[in-house]
Structure 1
């Protein structure tokens, strides 16, 4: 019997998971947005693909696997621009797996001729492996692929998931069963239009909304409130070449010129001031880094606050809940980088899913490999211990 899977979320994680899982199960995707990737954090992500300053090694390696999978599975979507990080004294430049090159001022100016002389004089670290992907195009392509494999994609206000359908079942533990204790199973979802969607597995890939949705099944997903603010300029023209060739980052701002010529600016601090004034402050900081932005007439056209999914210890939460059979959580920061690799691992688990057990079971090498990689990211882990170890060097 074909496994019935509902994926909540058409952002980059939901789209990637749907693309992979549609190969092994019947998938239905639900989201309130009318266009894939135009809601939640995916809408305004800086879309920087990297494994930069991520700890410990297993997390760095997972991000690196995501970066590599983008390049091998979706090469037409990837712009391998690399990144220049200023004001960076990171001691990991000699990492043989993820090396960086220390650039002298003259080398900075050669690669980025419009960077200010003052900033270039400090040198920079070049991470040549890093890249950028248009998140909206990526979500569209992934969902299109999922549909070709039979997935049903339902988008729009009526398809907002308002509730989870659950029932109580006897516990598999003899002691718990004897005490009359049951286990919750999710059997589907209800959407804004009043429709019900039955499922053997419900994948929560709805970003920051995962915590609210999981709570409806009595499952706690510990998340932090860490919004991010970004601003977007109009497309810049008239220079005959790009003003920014690499992803640029310093202590004050992130800067990237997208293929259409517009410049996206990211704040380095977590807050939710999405005012026009704050957007202007971002542009001012970016202009200090790249003065030619002023000469090109850059102006802020849009400021957005992204409510990022940020698990309490900074690391992804991926896997089936032991407290609710059939509920599968997939939420994380660094979702753009991780999406295609995480989706592969999720599909490996769902290929071997035992509906009665509410878990992936078996000894197939594919499953064992996925479970080994995902073991540090299960919901049932010590988040307080994780909080004591920074997942990111600079966030």
Structure 2
């Protein structure tokens, strides 16, 4: 079976590798270099933390476990298995964190309340506030390095025989059914006939699917601070001992490699606009630095070396889309906010479905759910997520 996969981010590369490993003839296409779209601006927190409803939680947990199962240990791996510590100071945050901790315990998802002394052991250079009302340690959660993941999976895809076509001229300009399958037309004039096509184009999914006459209900960026956007700031290398994710009242922090730290502050996202990104000497950058210096030791020389606006892939109900397009059995569509967490699981599950093995775990995530709801096409705003 010949299958074209459109999109060389973590989802598309995972599916291409999964198909190639199973013996399919695979062509992976992208108008840009692998991993330079949404994948490049992700906080890359691998988790199922607070993700609802239950089916979506279970899907993300399957993604988390797939990362643990598939990533090699040490320098050869892409997964940093340090866990996650969340610190609540204000009462609303404490209430929400306590609710999530209890729910996670009931579901067998590792979550333990720890005291300030234990937190300071896990986070030796983090200034744990004395007024903390609740601190929870999630030992199974992790963060990923997307470039390392892509390197591994692209290597697997190539070694299994996949053809990879990325860069200028490789953007899709035509997508239609043809006798016995489908035809994908690229901007350079190449026409690729295939049995099936997978759309893994991230936030460009609606435009791609429209070429085949399909409406995929994703949020699009409309105004600064909406649910599709958020800032990410990367520091210079710092002598800070940090080996895991930290969610604190004013700042989220995770290691970014080489002593650098990756920062996120959801309240600051109110001004995020991909068309007007502040520079690294802006007041916004200074705010990130000030918050970091209040939270960790040895950050006196901190500066922001990179400041970006990440753009999230956000289906209108907040949940993953995975399945054949309605009335077009040759076109399979995947779009999800939790792309980093879900990539290794979806790589296996979607490949299996395309080759005839239906995956019941994906049944709650078919695009047909929108066709039966009066809310189809109307904006819905789930709890603002972190970049994942």
Q: TM range, normalised to the smaller chain?
A: 0.7 to 0.9
| TM-score (normalizing by structure 1) | 0.82
- Highest Rg: 1 or 2? 1
Q: Is the 8 A contact 1:6 1:201 kept in 2?
A: yes
Post-superposition Cα deviations, 1:172-214, rounded to whole Å, max 9, x if no partner, equal: xxxxxxxxxxxxx972222232222222211111110111111
Stretch moving more, 375-384 or 149-158? 375-384
Q: What residue is the counterpart of 2:224 in the other structure?
A: none
The alignment status of 1:375 with 2:363, answered yes or no, reads: yes
Partners of 1:151 and 1:221 in 2: how far apart? 27
Give distance in 2, aligned partners of 1:188 and 1:283: 50
Residues 120, 47 of structure 1: alpha-carbon distance in 2 compared, 3 angstrom cutoff:
farther
Q: Which residue of structure 2 lines up, in the alignment, with residue 45 of structure 1?
A: 42
CA distance in 2: counterparts of 1:388 and 1:302, whole angstroms: 32
User: SS state of the match for residue 66, structure 2?
Assistant: helix
Query: What is the TM-score normalised by the length of structure 2?
Result: 0.84
**8 Å contact 1:255–1:264 — kept in the other structure?**
yes
Unaligned runs of at least 5 residues, structure 2: 221-227
What secondary structure does 2:257 align onto? Answer: coil
Distance 1:292 1:72, change over 3 A: same
Q: Does 1:209 align with 2:214?
A: no
Indicate yes or no: 2:346 matched with 1:342: yes
The corresponding residue for 1:26 is: 25
> Does the CA contact (< 8 Å) of 2:46 and 2:340 recur in 1?
yes
Which structure 2 residues correspond to residues 175-254 of structure 1 after superposition, within 5 A?
187-225=182-220, 226-236=228-238, 239=239, 242-254=240-252
* Shift in CA distance, 154/146, structure 1 to aligned 2, threshold 3 Å: same
Match of 1:363 in 2: none
Tell me, yes or no, if the aligned pair for 2:320 and 2:335 is still in contact at 8 Å.
yes
Root mean square deviation, CA, Å: 2.4
Distance 2:130 2:352 in 1: 46
Kept in 1: contact 2:28–2:163 (CA 8 A) = yes
Q: How does 1:238-387 map to 2 (within 5 A)?
A: 239=239, 242-269=240-267, 270=269, 271-272=272-273, 274-276=277-279, 277=282, 278-293=284-299, 295=300, 297-352=301-356, 367-368=357-358, 370=359, 372-382=360-370
Q: Alpha-carbon deviations, 1:308-357, whole Å to 9, x = none?
A: 111001110001112333111011011111111112111111111xxxxx
Task: Name the residue aligned to 1:359.
Answer: none
Give aligned pairs, total. 353
What secondary structure is seen at the aligned counterpart in 2 of 1:310? coil
Structure 2 contact 44–145 (Cα < 8 Å) conserved? yes
**Are 1:107 and 2:118 matched, yes or no?**
yes
After superposition, the Cα gap between the structure-2 partners of 1:190 and 1:211, relative to the gap in structure 1 and judged at 3 Å, is same
Deviations 1:239-288 (A, max 9, x none): 3xx43221011343321122321111123255325212233333333333
Q: 2:41–2:311: 8 Å Cα contact kept in structure 1? A: no
Counterpart CA distance in 1 for 2:257 and 2:57 is: 28
Q: 1:373 to 1:384 in 2, by over 3 A?
A: farther
SS of alignment partner, residue 101 of structure 2: coil
Contact in 2 for aligned 1:32/1:155 (Cα 8 Å) = yes
Seen in structure 2, the aligned counterparts of structure 1 residues 120 and 261 have a Cα distance that, compared at 3 Å, is farther
The equivalent of 1:61 in structure 2 is 58
**2:177/2:330 contact within 8 Å kept:** no
Note the residue ranges of structure 1 that are not aligned, 5 or more in a row.
170-184, 353-366
1:55–1:392 Cα contact (<8 Å) kept = no
Secondary structure (helix, strand or coil) at the match of 2:369 reads: coil
How far 1:77 moved relative to its partner?
2.4
Distance change (3 Å), C-alpha of 1:198 and 1:286: farther
User: Is the alpha carbon distance of 1:81 and 1:161 closer, same or farther for their aligned partners in structure 2, counting shifts above 3 Å?
Assistant: same
Separation in 2 of the partners of 1:186 and 1:332? 26
